Amino acid sequence: MTTVKDVCRHVRSKNAGPYWVTFDLFFDGPESFEKHHANPALGPQLFQRLFGADPALVRHYPVADLNVVKISYARTSPQGGVVERDMHCGQQFVRLLDVRLD
Q: Which residues bind another protein (CB under 8 A)?
A: 14-20, 22, 24, 54, 57, 59, 61, 63, 65-66, 68, 70, 72, 74-75, 78-83, 85-88, 91, 94-95
Distance of closest approach, residue 87 Cβ to another protein, in angstroms: 6
Instruction: Name which of 38 and 66 has its Cβ closer to another protein.
Output: 66
Distance of closest approach, residue 84 Cβ to another protein, in angstroms: 8
Pairwise CA distance, residues 7 & 5, whole Å: 6
Q: Are 40 and 23 in contact (CB under 8 A)?
A: no
* Residue 21: Cβ within 10 Å count: 25
- In DSSP notation, 33-46 reads HHHHTT-GGGSHHH
Instruction: Name which of 35 and 59 has its Cβ closer to another protein.
Output: 59
Instruction: Name which of 41 and 68 has its Cβ closer to another protein.
Output: 68
Distance of closest approach, residue 18 Cβ to another protein, in angstroms: 4
Altogether, the residues listed in the chain come to a count of 102
Instruction: Name which of 16 and 101 has its Cβ closer to another protein.
Output: 16
Partner residues linked to 59 by β-bridges: 72
Pairwise CA distance, residues 78 & 33, whole Å: 32
